[in-house]
Amino acid sequence: MKTIIWPVYIDSTRTKKEGRKISKKDGVSSPRLGEISRAARKLDLKPDTENNKSYPGLWWESTGRIVVEIEEISKKDLLLKISNMIKGTRSN
């Protein structure tokens, strides 16, 4: 099943109303598309990066999005894994 990951989903600087899907403590500050794509690649999700897309709730910001193929994992668990992977790379 294909699923879309918008950077706002894991952005700890955004509110739930703006589109964040995980808790602030689990999120990362201003995640970049490249970071999300690298994390998805490390998880063997074969990410497809679409740079010129805007999250519908923030249509004026061209943040881009990542499309991945997932099986047997919830979207929230996927977002947590990607967020944790980005945190790990940022701390190095």
* Cβ neighbourhood burial of 91 (10 Å; 0-12, 13-18, 19+): exposed
pLDDT score recorded for residue 90: 85
Q: Splitting the chain (92 residues) into consecutive groups of 10 residues, what average pLDDT does each group show?
A: 95 96 96 96 94 93 94 93 94 68
pLDDT score recorded for residue 25: 96
pLDDT score recorded for residue 92: 63
pLDDT score recorded for residue 1: 87
pLDDT score recorded for residue 4: 96
pLDDT score recorded for residue 82: 96
* Domain that residue 72 falls in: 2-91
With beta carbons less than 8 A apart as the criterion, state whether 80 and 26 touch.
yes
Domain count, the chain: 1
Residue 65 sits in a domain whose CATH number is: 3.30.56.30
pTM for the predicted model, two decimal places: 0.92
Element (H, E) at 86: helix 75-91
